[in-house]
Amino acid sequence: MENPESAPALSALVSQNATVSRQLYTRPAAPSNSASTEAANKRQKLDDASFEDPMMKHRYLAEYSTVEKLPASIAAKQPGAKPKKKTITNAVVKRPTQKLLEGPGGSSSKPGDGATREAGMDLTTKGTPQLVQPRPEWHPPWKLMRVISGHLGWVRALAVEPGNKWFASGAGDRTIKIWDMPTGGLKLTLTGHISTVRGLAVSPRHPYLFSCGEDKMVKCWDLETNKVIRHYHGHLSGVYTLAIHPTLDVLVTGGRDGVARVWDMRTRSNIHVLSGHKQTVSQLVCQEADPQVITASLDSTVRMWDLAAGKSMGVLTHHKKGVRALATHPEEFTFATGSTGSIKQWKCPEGAFMQNFEGHNAIINTLSVNQNNVFFSGADNGSMSFWDWKTGHRYQSMDTMAQPGSLDAEAGIMSSTFDRSGLRLICGEADKTIKIWKPDEKASPETHPLQWTPTLQHRKF
């Protein structure tokens, strides 16, 4: 300051200005209680009711409106500040704010808004699954081609030989019958089991047929002499299922004692006992890569096994009821399991859940899938369903018919398998017959259009 004499005058001016400001912005005296004191000490905002005086509001706006709110970058650094969702605003183009987790059906934007949007300004969520369902592949409907009679009990097991010239069936009459594939004629009957035959498998590398039954027996038949050449002893109760390893000379059997036993085909020695299930092992399959053995059990679990170590690799506990059926895809590294009212698809090797096949509400006894992605499920009440393997779409469902003279209660499908071409479906039934189904060769997408409507309920993972 150049003139020291002007200092008292300037001080008086500042004091007077402060007094005027105090008079303008002072608040009414607060009552004595604490709640009112807290309200009085609170910072006033522009929209508070106390700013009814227009002059007061005008002065307040003129002085403080620019600094009432902190800039977003500074406000985010304040202690106790909650991170807010990012909203992109554009001064020129006004767009409705988009919710971050808005599904395709809940979008608030209109179709006409696309013209006003700027490229690259839309909020997108990373990692959210696309809900666009793929269209199912068209498959021709299946029709009954042949009914084969001959067994005197429920047909519980079926196996097709690798050359596709004949197939074998095992039944509750304790016999194994060999049938000619093209004609359906009986070629041979093998006797030896003393109880129901529950499992059959034909070796792709040897002239052997393997069978197992409720008599605890596992037999190896030489198809050149049609005689039993080996027995595999060890199961403590009925043997319900068996499978041959595709590359090793190994046989795996499972049954009512709750374990799967791995046998050396030649020496008949029991290599592993795969224990872990708490109830009957109802179905098992072998495949070339890990998990080389997959077992399904009535304890409602599915287990995948490391064959080299003889230990469980994983347990699938998604089913609520006993798992009676199991099928692996002939070309994909996937498989399906079926229990009462529930069919699920899984991905190997980790056993990741892929999708549900929804709609077949019955006790699923058997599952089969062919190389054309046709998936079949057969149930205890005689209901049949045909599905598209990729999408889980059921394109055909019907009920089998019990043969004349049978009770309606005998219309149950106990076993099924596709032949090597995938163009014939063989079903073993509770009316003691074997029924062979084939695709309708006259059907086309025009005569039998695909009845498919996408739904949000069905999700593939």
Q: Are 230 and 219 in contact (CB under 8 A)?
A: yes
CA angle 407/186/428 to nearest 5° reads 40
Per-residue pLDDT tens digits for 74-121: 888 787 655 555 444 444 444 445 444 444 444 444 444 444 444 444
C-alpha span between 328 and 259 (Å, rounded): 20
Both tokens of 453, joined, read: 């409507």
Between CA 258 and CA 297 the distance in angstroms is 8
Residue 175 domain-assigned (yes or no): yes
Task: State the amino acid at position 366 in one-letter form.
Answer: T
Is the pLDDT reported for residue 245 higher than 50?
Answer: yes
Is residue 374, in this structure, part of any structural domain at all?
yes
The arithmetic mean of pLDDT across residues 205-231, rounded, is: 97
Q: Cα(99)–Cα(123) distance, rounded to whole angstroms?
A: 8
Q: Is residue 176 part of a domain?
A: yes
pTM to 2 decimal places: 0.72
Residue 219, in any domain of the structure: yes
Q: Which residues of 261-295 are buried (b: 16+ CB within 10 A; e: fewer)?
A: bbbebeeeeeebebebbeebbbbbbbbeeebbbbb
Would 458 be classed as within a structural domain?
no
Compute the Cα dihedral for 111, 113, 116, 122 and give only its sign. negative
Question: Of how many residues is the chain composed?
Answer: 461
Collapse the DSSP code of 304 into the 3-class scheme (helix H, G, I; strand E, B; otherwise coil) and give the result.
Answer: strand
- Our count of domains for the chain comes to 1
- Tokens (6 digits) for 173: 């009459």
Domain that holds residue 165: 142-439
pLDDT score for 65: 72
pLDDT score for 108: 41
- Whether 307 is covered by a domain: the verdict is yes
pLDDT at 156 over 90: yes
Of 28-37, 189-198, 315-324, 449-458, minimum mean pLDDT range:
28-37
pLDDT at 88: 45
| Closest of 313, 320, 316 to residue 291, by C-alpha | 313
Residue 131 lies in a domain: no
Domain CATH code at residue 252: 2.130.10.10
Average pLDDT on 164-187 reads: 98
Q: Quote the strand ranges of 166-287, DSSP E.
A: 166-171, 175-180, 186-191, 197-202, 208-213, 218-222, 227-231, 239-244, 250-255, 259-264, 270-275, 281-286
Token pair for 345: 């698809």
Long-range contacts (CB closer than 8 Å, 24 or more residues apart) made by 187-195: 188/226, 190/221, 190/226, 192/219, 192/228, 193/217, 193/219, 195/238
The C-alpha atoms of residue 12 and residue 1 are separated, in whole angstroms, by: 16
The angle subtended at Cα 202 by Cα 197 and Cα 203, nearest 5°, is 140
**Alpha carbon distance 15, 19 (integer Å):** 6
Is 409 part of any domain? yes
DSSP string over 96-143 = ----TT--SSS----GGGGGGPPTT-S---TTPPP-PPPPPPP-PPEE
User: What tokens does 248 get?
Assistant: 């090793």
Gap between the Cα atoms of 158 and 434, Å rounded: 9
In 3-state terms, the chain is what percent helix, strand and coil (to 5)? Answer: 10, 35, 50
Only one residue has tokens 């069978």, namely 211
Highest mean pLDDT: which range of 101-105, 130-134, 299-303: 299-303
Q: What is the pLDDT of residues 20-51, one digit of tens each?
A: 777 766 655 545 555 555 554 555 555 555 55
